[in-house]
Structures are given as C-alpha cells and as structure tokens.
Structure 1
C-alpha cells in the first residue's frame, strides 16, 4: 500500500492540536478545560484558557473557505455529542467480550456534536459529488486524487491518500474545524464523516496496546 501524506500546515496543526486525545499516555487536551462552549465540537477543546477564541477563529476561517457548508449548517448548534459508527460503547459484562472490546478500543472514534456531524456530512457529500458525480473524471492514481482534493479545498497536509489493492482511498481532517472525512473510490464509492480516533488522527490505527 502506498501512502501520501505530509506534515500538517500551520492552520491544520492548530485544529488538530486541539483534538482531545486519550490512551497510550497521551495528554488529554480537555483536562481542566472547563465546559465546552455551546455548539463547539468537544474534540476541539483544550486546557488553554484561550481555547474558545481559538475554536471561534478556526470556525470563522472554515466558514470563509467553505461558505456552502457554513450556510447548510448555520442553524445546527448546541446539543451533546452523539454516537456514530466506531464510537465508544459501554464495555460488555461478559469478561471475554469486555477484554476483546478493551483491546480494540484504539479503533473507536470521538463522538460528534450535531454541528460537527452536519459539517462533516456536508463535506462528505461535497467531495463525493465532485469525485464521483456525473461527468466527474475518475482519479487514476494517488497523485490525481491528491490534486482533486486540493482543488476542492482539502490540502495534502491535512490528510492522506492511499491505494489498497485496486481501490484509491483517503482520510482527511476538514481544514480548521474537523471532523474527519474518509472515502474509498470503489464500486460503489463511499465517503463518510466521523470523529477522530481516540488515539489521534483520521486514519484507522493498525495496532493497539
């Protein structure tokens, strides 16, 4: 499998750095941060007292870059993070099942607020239409897919592009705010939004503890 990815750009680093990470000794960014501001994805909080300002600034930059997404999700604010595919579930009571769940916890994802889910699904739809819609040229290789995503506003340094067998795929962090958008250009093509993995990043981890 060939993977294309680069060091996050300064703005993407700010957003990704605000993600609340857990496990493997990683410092939780939300430790002591206080309540999350209304409508803000809980994965974008940090212990810094200026976190609300940073989040607001990142959201403003996102909305300027993606006005169509901003307009679609303008009224979707507040609420608690909701479960989605891959999000943590309570450990089962059966000891063996509980051990299995614990060993695979690294594949679980952060929950998304309604606002973050709306934003992610809007980006997923936008990407899917551009890459697979009528008349859309199908990317032939990783470089083609990387260029196509960059033209849509998703720079190479905010994610990765790869090939698994004959299928191209990608996992990107939405610039400035998140969440993650992951896609596979198979038959049929799939593009979905999800929270970052509990151990960090948008690409599913390949190993646990």
Structure 2
C-alpha cells in the first residue's frame, strides 16, 4: 500500500507526539552537540530558527546556546500582505510575542526587527518528516518551499538546514515538483547531508 503525504504527516506527527517530555528535553540538548559541529557555524552571525510546536524537536536550548555564542537569532512571521510567504524578525529575551493564525507564537511585527532573507546565513526549517534523499515533508502550507526557492535554483541566499527527531526519518517520501530538498538535516544523533 502506498502512503499519501497526508498519511505520512499523520503517522510521523503521532510518533513525535508520543515522545515524553524527558526525551524531548534530552533531544534538545543532544541537538546542540550535533549542531555545534556544523562547519556552517564558523562564519554564521544570523540564523533563523522556529519555536517548537506539535511535538517538534525542542529548539529553545539551541537558541539559547546560539545567544551564548554571540549569534543573532530570527523567527519566522507570516507575511501580512504576501500570501504564503514568511518574514524573519530578530528574536531575543525581550522580543514581544503574539499568536499567529495557527496559534504559534511569533514576534510581534515591527519593521525595525525584520532582516531580509538574503541577509540570513542559515535557515533552520521545521519538518514533519524527511527521507534518505533529503526531501522534507512540511505541514503543507508551502511557506518554507517558497522561502527557499531562490536558494534551490541559484544557490544564493541562506543555506537551509532541517531539524528533526530521529523518528521522523522514513526511507522514501512522495514528492511534488515544488518541494525543495534540503542539503542537511540535523537530528539528536546524527547529521544527514547531501551537499
């Protein structure tokens, strides 16, 4: 039986939502150990991440570790006028937050906090699942595919790196023409790379 993208989404989300809070916490700490070995970090000053929701790999320990390294962090904000697109806003302890239409916390939109995507060094993307060829399965909104399209076609702009639990890996995902495969995906136990 061939599973649809929706079947994969449901199955993998179920798996990661069954992880205990202790496992989640340790996975977040192990993520730092893997992430710290990335050569891309040597020159990175501006890194986009996301806040964890729906059983995703815990990102706050990594964000706080990046702050300790003097690296600026940014979070995605749903673009208010350009449908299906993201803006990235500077994020620190004092950033005012609001809930977006998906009930996910994001920085309150302030012009001064926006950093143009091309000025980011890395974009850490959330994902529901990933396969052995670097394809990611997102939530279906296409926000990250649109954001990463220029990088995929020209190699210009911030490099995308996926973050995921090990249990989110499957051998092969069904793909669509607009899917942007990732050059690297970091899990708590290893770095998958195709670049």
Does TM, scored on the shorter chain, surpass 0.5? no
* Range into which the TM-score falls when normalised by the shorter chain: under 0.3
TM-score (normalised: structure 1):
0.26
Which one has a larger percent helix, Structure 1 or Structure 2? 1
TM-score (norm 2): 0.28
Higher relative contact order structure (alpha carbons within 8 Å, sequence separation ≥ 6): 1
The structure with more radius of gyration: 1
Greater strand share, 1 or 2? Answer: 2
